[in-house]
A and B are shown apart, each in its own frame.
Chain A
Amino acid sequence: MYLNASIVKEASQGNKDPRNITLDFSLKQLLSLKNLNQFITPNNVQKLLVSTNYLREIEPIISSFTLLKELDLSINHIQKIENLTPLSNLIYLNLSNNRIQYVEGLSGLLRLEVLVSLSCIASKFRI
């Protein structure tokens, strides 16, 4: 399934502060987030939850969410950690249960406090 206005509306329900938005796309059978910027302004999103979907990569669109504090990409089909370097405000990152072979590219995440990397398939662990 791909993103549409209805899914985005449902994912953003309950947000009261337009400058502090949580998007919850968990369990939506999503294949991609590519067109997310058609529906939402990335700068206002602080929490992005995309657990339990069918994402195969961390798409470049993710890097535009520069104020993101929490990112949950657990239980997807991601094979490589990429496009996270601009997320310098990230505090929580969950990459558990993916298909990651190398844990890398996290050195730009200066504020990262919580790294949950459960069950990453990885032959080497390099950051």
Chain B
Amino acid sequence: MNYISRIEGIKNKGIKTLILSGNQIKEIENLSSMPLLENLELEKNKIETVEAVATFELKKLKKFVVSFNMIPIEDFDNIVKLLGNFPTLEEVNFMGNEVTLFKKYKPRLMEFEQLRILDKLALKDPIKTHYTVSDIILILSNRN
């Protein structure tokens, strides 16, 4: 059980990778102090929207993981906005969120040419996936 509930006050400007998976974070906030951030992983938290992410100056962001959070279908437009704002973003993972059930989810996101990996699936070569055994177990348990 983990209890980190907020991202705040990080003053280490050189941080390129921040992994806070498996906590209790509800909002993605205070990322302005990490302008060099390339890899942000927030899997298994309590995030309900990615709206704020697009407002941060993250010109080097390459990988954004928010799988197994609580992002609803209604947040799809914010995901589109996010990918539009970050042309460097090559890999995103929204697996295990309701938003992935939106019928236009995959075809719309595949329109972003910079995207190489969507939900661990390599878009340029769909045969190659990046699923682990634990991913498959989590997906199946969510369906049940």
Residue numbers of A with Cβ under 8 A of B are 96, 101, 103, 106-107, 109-127
Contacts and interface: CB of A to CB of B under 8 A. Distances in A.
B3 interface: yes
B4 A109 contact: no
Given A112-B14, A121-B3, A122-B23, 20 more contacts: A101-B3, A106-B12, A107-B11, A109-B12, A113-B14, A113-B17, A115-B18, A117-B4, A117-B20, A118-B21, A118-B22, A119-B2, A119-B22, A121-B1, A122-B2, A122-B4, A124-B6, A125-B8, A125-B20, A127-B10
A113 to B, nearest CB: 5
Contacts of A113: 14-17, 36
Nearest to A96: B19
A111 to B, nearest CB: 6
Contacts of A125: 4-9, 20
Interface in B109-133: none
23 contacts: A106-B12, A109-B12, A110-B12, A110-B14, A114-B15, A114-B16, A115-B19, A117-B18, A117-B19, A117-B20, A118-B19, A118-B21, A119-B21, A120-B2, A121-B1, A121-B3, A122-B3, A123-B5, A124-B5, A124-B6, A125-B7, A127-B10, A127-B11
- Majority-rule SS of B interface residues: loop
Contact of A111 (B1, B4, B14, B23): B14
Contacts of B21: 118-119
B14 to A, nearest CB: 5
B12 A127 contact: yes
Nearest to A103: B4
Contacts of A111: 14
Nearest to A102: B4
A112 to B, nearest CB: 5
A125 to B, nearest CB: 5
A101 B16 CA distance: 24
